[in-house]
Structures are given as C-alpha cells and as structure tokens.
Amino acid sequence: MLGTGWYAAVAVEAGPGKTVAVVGDGAVGLMAVLAAKQLGAERIIAMSRHPERQKLARYYGATDIVEERGDEGIAKIKELTNGLGAHSVVEAVGTQESFMQAVGTTHGGGHLGYVGVNYDVTIPGIELFFAGIHTLGGPAPVRRFLPDLIQLIWDRKIDPGKVFDLTLPLDQAPEGYKAMDERRATKVLLTL
C-alpha cells in the first residue's frame, strides 16, 4: 500500500507548487496523500466521506477534504482550484465513477495516475481525448521505491502504520477482509 501510493504520487508528478487530488480514502489513497506531502505538494485534496479516514488524510498532509462524488465532486475540486482542476490526480479506487471523476478533476495538461484495480472500467475515448491529460498507472514497481521508503520509516520521517486500525489473529483473516469491505477498517493487521 505504501509503495503503491508512492508510485501513484510519483506518476502524477506530485511536487512543489502542485495541487494533488486523491480519489479514494483506502490505505493506498491515504499513502498517496502521505507521498504527495513528502514530495512537497503545495495543496493536497483528499476525497473522503469517512470521518476517521478524513482525520488520517489530514494527519498525512491533506489540506482539504472533499466529500462530494461524481459531477459534484468534480465541481468542488474545480471550485477549490479556481476552475482549473488539480495538476495531479491519483485514482485509488478502480470504479467507473472514481475513474471518470479523476479524469474530470485533472487540469488540462495535468497528470492522472491510476492505481485502483479497474476491472470493469471503460473509458470513453472522446472524454479522455478532450481532457488533454497525461495518464500513467497499473501495478506499482514497489521495489523501485522500497529502499527509500524503508529509510524514511527507519528515520521516523513517515508513519504509514496508522492505516492499520484493526488487529486480528491470522485465523480471523476472512473477518479482516469483511471489515475492510464493509469499511469498518481501513487496513487489517493480522498477527500470529
């Protein structure tokens, strides 16, 4: 999750002077917020409807929270960015609605990184064509970032472990997946 969120933030060229929007408040989306902050983004907008995840997003560096979805979410991001959209947008959900929201939220010429596994997403070519954005995504090359991420954790510059908000014994793994699916947990830590 940390490596995937980091990859997404790098893919969207998060950095100084940039506004980054993160669609998705799961562990990967929250790690994208953390990464955008570490990479120096000026403004980080987390899209979240869940109060506990909003708190984590703020802890990791979100400057704004947007609860709206779909066209309303796009309009809110545009309002926050003087009508332009975000320079950098991370899509960390993988649904049709979240992907199209990410496309609509990205500033023309900006970067959209998609790391949500999008099994049933179809992208209307004409909408993507006229969006005029850069896209990059897919499975994260975590090994590329691992040495630097381990060092950041070791030096206590980041604390990605806060996303683990439920601990269960290994034999209750199915319950852990159920808790995450039902959004009762962001990420489950299984113990022996």
pLDDT band, residue 19 (cuts 50/70/90):
very high
pLDDT, tens digit, for every residue of 79-136?
A: 999 999 999 999 999 999 999 999 999 999 999 999 988 888 888 888 888 889 999 9
Beta bridge mates, 91: 23, 114
> Distance between CA 44 and CA 10 in Å, rounded?
14
Q: At what angle do helices 27-38 and 2-11 cross, to 10 degrees?
A: 50
Residue bearing tokens 């980041």: 158
Q: Which CATH number fits domain 2-142: 2.60.300.12, 3.30.110.30, 3.40.50.720, 3.40.50.740?
A: 3.40.50.720
pLDDT, tens digit, for every residue of 34-90?
A: 999 999 999 999 999 999 999 999 999 999 999 999 999 999 999 999 999 999 999
Q: Is 21 helix (H, G, I), strand (E, B) or coil?
A: strand
Return the pLDDT at 122. Answer: 86
Beta bridge mates, 45: 21, 64
Return the pLDDT at 69. Answer: 94
pTM recorded for the entire structure: 0.93
Beta bridge mates, 181: none
Q: Which residues contact 49 (CB under 8 A, 6 or more apart)?
A: 25, 67, 69
55: its two tokens: 């708190």
Q: Are the C-beta atoms of 92 and 23 separated by less than 8 Å?
A: yes
DSSP codes of every residue in 36-95? HHHTT-SEEEEE---HHHHHHHHHHT-SEEE---HHHHHHHHHHHTTTS-EEEEEE-S-S
- Name the residue ranges covered by the structural domains of the chain: 2-142, 161-192
Return the pLDDT at 180. Answer: 93
Is the pLDDT at 158 greater than 90? The verdict is yes
Segment 158-183 shows an average pLDDT of 95
